[in-house]
């Protein structure tokens, strides 16, 4: 079970450090703020003790503290959170590309667990779980009143054991009952094939395996078809992952120039990541496919290749998660996942709340059983999201749907036609004279 939509780490895990307090002159606003803060903390301590002493049943002190911390962090934005030791361990396992559970990306919305996307070829996907589904009950217990972490823990369990989910789906009157058998989820970071002399590579998520699997896939494609005309990089329904893997995947197709930069509160701590010489596909045409399920690390790759005119982006507006979460280890093996920066594409654009706009917009028609349902997903729809500098009235995101049969995939067909030359577009093949290559 993946815990959150599009987790993007800020490089290596940061070590825990002591808090630094900055004091102002006596009577300054800084001191006044500190004084107010400590008064509020005193109120918190008083309430905590009263709950411990007077609640109708003896509460679990540890759970009280964890709930208070979680409430503080979730009030900041949808992606900051406290990870207890079990959750932190689960996160570390996930980034390796192997974990136990059902195989769904989830978040919390209106006190229910909301499915961002089922992972391909997992129990949840085979059972028919769809993006946008709301999980209302887990094994007969209502989700309302549970935290996201508690709900995820209930959905996890021993391999080969069954779990009953009650799902609410837009456009369907009655709740849907599903029985799903848990499995060990081994996520293949990359899938590939050759179709009509075009190399097709799909990155499912940016785990530690992403770049290595991409390199192996391209080597295999070259061996299978030395005369391949070009490549399609499919990032649809890819929720993100590790920042260093996004940088490496972008670098795989670029010879020089900036890939991405991150900027937080302190201008002196801004970071820039640049590409190195070498293009795995030897300069051949490249199409990147995106949709409303393309988030975070996926948007870094799409934005870098688009800004440098190295690829044409085809599909619909991406999710729009342009924030970086630093994972700070805490005592007893817990961790703090805190939004510490926003990332910017080579042209200096923030996609927070806006997303990547395709060079060629191609809407994917929905099958008859999904028509009339709103499958649009975007950062700008999340309650409490950080307002992006480029966020407009339309917001971010689009339909997060890819047909299971490639024959019905009009976005993929468009990409193949562009590479084969059956269709032309001013942006394709890439024009080096228009490239945004900064500080060369």
Q: What is the pLDDT averaged over residues 378-395?
A: 86
The tokens describing 432, both together, are 């080096």
pLDDT at 357: 96
Asked if the structure places residue 139 within a domain, the reply is yes
pLDDT of amino acid 337 = 94
Over 50: is that where the pLDDT of 231 sits? yes
Are residues 302 and 176 part of one domain? no
Model confidence at 372: pLDDT above 60: yes
Active site residue 413: no
72 domain-assigned: no
pLDDT band at 255 (very low <50, low <70, confident <90, very high): very high
The pairing of strands 98-101 and 104-109 is: unpaired
The reported pLDDT for the residue numbered 33 is 59
Residues 264-318 pLDDT 10s: 999 998 999 999 999 999 999 999 999 999 999 999 999 999 999 999 999 999 9
> Do 359 and 334 lie in a common domain?
yes
CATH number at residue 251: 3.90.226.10
Res. 62: pLDDT tops 50: yes
Confidence (pLDDT) at 91: 81
152 located within any domain: yes
Q: What is the pLDDT of residues 203-229, one digit of tens each?
A: 988 999 999 999 999 999 999 999 999
- Considering the domain architecture, whether residues 349 and 206 belong to the same structural domain is answered as yes
Helix, strand, coil distribution of the chain in percent, nearest 5:
30, 25, 45
Q: Span 222-248, mean pLDDT?
A: 95
Q: Mean pLDDT, to the nearest integer, of 149-168? A: 89
CB 259 within 8 Å of CB 297: no
To the nearest whole percent, how much of the chain has pLDDT over 70?
88
Judgement on whether residues 285 and 394 belong to the same structural domain of the protein: yes
Instruction: Please indicate, yes or no, if residue 260 is contained in any of the structural domains.
Output: yes
- Least confident piece of the model among 83-92, 133-142, 190-199, 412-421: 83-92
Q: What pLDDT is recorded for position 370?
A: 78
Options 90, 244, 307, 409, the catalytic residue = 307
Q: Is the pLDDT of residue 424 over 80?
A: no
* 162-168 and 258-263 beta bridge pairing: unpaired
Verify whether residue 307 is a known catalytic residue.
Answer: yes
Distances (CA, A) of 176 to 123, 137, 171, 414: 16, 10, 12, 35
In this predicted structure, the answer to whether residue 339 has a pLDDT above a threshold of 50 is yes
* Residue 436, pLDDT above cutoff 80: no
Of residues 100 and 144, more confidence is placed in 144
Give the burial class of 378: count Cβ atoms within 10 A of its Cβ; 0-12 exposed, 13-18 middle, 19 or more buried: buried
Predicted confidence band at 176 (pLDDT cuts at 50, 70, 90)? very high
Residue 58 resides in a domain: no
**Residue 259 resides in a domain:** yes
Listed range (244-253, 275-284, 329-338) with the worst mean pLDDT: 329-338
Q: Give the span between the Cα atoms of 391 and 393, in whole angstroms.
A: 7
Task: Please identify which residue in the block is written with the tokens 């190399």.
Answer: 199
Q: What is the mean pLDDT of residues 89-104?
A: 79
Same domain as 201, residue 112: no
**pLDDT value at 439 more than 70:** no
Q: How confident is the model at residue 100 (pLDDT cuts 50, 70, 90)?
A: confident
Active-site residue identified among 70, 261, 275, 296? 296
Question: Which of these three, 156, 186, 216, is where a domain ends?
Answer: 186
pLDDT level of residue 353 (50, 70, 90 thresholds): very high
**Residues 83-107, mean pLDDT to the nearest whole number:** 81
1: pLDDT strictly greater than 60:
no
Concerning whether 255 is annotated as a catalytic residue, the answer is no
- Of 186, 203, 225, at which residue does a domain stop? 186
Helix (H) / strand (E) containing 183 = strand 183-186
Lowest-confidence region among 21-30, 73-82, 298-307:
21-30
Catalytic residue among 4, 114, 202, 321: 321
Same domain, 104 and 157: yes
How confident is the model at residue 32, as a pLDDT? 56
More confident residue, 375 or 328: 328
Query: pLDDT digits over 109-135, tens only?
Result: 889 999 988 887 899 999 999 989 999
Q: Are residues 159 and 284 in the same domain?
A: no
Q: What is the pTM of this model?
A: 0.74
Q: What is the DSSP letter of 431?
A: -
The domain that contains 155 carries what CATH number?
A: 2.30.42.10
Convert the pLDDT of each residue in 27-39 to its tens digit. 444 455 578 888 8
In this predicted structure, the answer to whether residue 362 has a pLDDT above a threshold of 90 is: yes
pLDDT at res. 431:
47
Say how far apart CA 99 and CA 80 lie, in whole Å: 22
Let me know if residue 114 belongs to a domain: yes
Non-local CB neighbours of 328 within 8 Å, separated by 6+ positions: 13, 14, 15, 16, 335, 336, 337, 338
Q: Token match 């009655």: residue?
A: 174
Residue 33 maps to a domain: no
The domain in which residue 417 lies consists of: 190-434
* Domain's final residue, options 186, 202, 229: 186
Average model confidence (pLDDT) for the chain? 86
């Amino acid at each position: 079970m993946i815990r959150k939509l599009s987790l993007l780490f800020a490089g290596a895990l940061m070590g825990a450090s002591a808090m630094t307090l900055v004091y102002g002159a006596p009577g300054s606003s800084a001191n006044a703020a500190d004084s107010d803060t400590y008064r509020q903390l005193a109120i918190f301590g008083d309430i905590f003790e009263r709950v411990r002493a007077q609640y109708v049943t003896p509460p679990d002190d540890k759970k009280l503290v964890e709930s208070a911390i979680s409430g503080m962090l979730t009030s900041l934005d949808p992606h900051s959170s406290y990870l207890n030791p079990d959750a932190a361990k689960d996160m570390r396992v996930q980034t390796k590309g192997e974990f136990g559970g059902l195989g769904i990306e989830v978040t919390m919305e209106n006190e229910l667990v909301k499915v961002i996307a089922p992972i391909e070829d997992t129990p949840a996907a085979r059972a028919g779980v769809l993006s946008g589904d709301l999980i209302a009950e887990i094994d007969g217990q209502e989700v309302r009143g549970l935290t996201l972490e508690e709900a995820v823990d209930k959905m996890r369990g021993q391999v080969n054991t069954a779990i009953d989910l009650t799902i609410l789906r837009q456009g369907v009157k009655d709740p849907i009952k599903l029985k799903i058998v848990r499995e060990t989820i081994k996520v293949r970071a990359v899938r590939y094939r050759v179709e009509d002399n075009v190399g097709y590579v799909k990155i499912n998520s940016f785990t530690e395996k992403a770049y290595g699997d991409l390199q192996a896939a391209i080597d295999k494609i070259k061996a299978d078809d030395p005369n391949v005309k070009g490549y399609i990089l499919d990032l649809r329904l890819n929720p993100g992952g590790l920042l260093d893997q996004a940088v490496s995947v972008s670098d795989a197709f670029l010879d020089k120039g900036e890939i991405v930069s991150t900027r937080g509160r302190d201008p002196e701590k801004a970071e820039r990541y640049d590409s190195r010489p070498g293009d795995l596909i030897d300069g051949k045409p490249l199409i990147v496919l995106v949709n409303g399920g393309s988030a975070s690390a996926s948007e870094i790759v799409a934005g870098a290749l688009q800004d440098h005119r190295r690829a044409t982006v085809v599909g619909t507006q991406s999710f729009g998660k342009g924030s970086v979460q630093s994972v700070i280890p805490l005592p007893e093996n817990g961790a703090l996942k805190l939004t510490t920066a926003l990332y910017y594409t080579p042209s200096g654009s923030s996609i927070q709340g806006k997303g990547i706009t395709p060079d060629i917009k191609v809407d994917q028609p929905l099958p008859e059983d999904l028509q009339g349902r709103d499958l649009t997903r975007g950062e700008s729809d999340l309650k409490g999201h950080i307002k992006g500098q480029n966020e407009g009235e339309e917001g971010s995101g689009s339909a997060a749907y890819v047909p299971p049969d490639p024959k019905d995939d009009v976005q993929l067909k468009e990409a193949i036609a562009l590479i084969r030359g059956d269709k032309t577009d001013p942006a394709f093949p890439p024009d080096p004279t228009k490239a945004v290559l900064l500080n060369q």
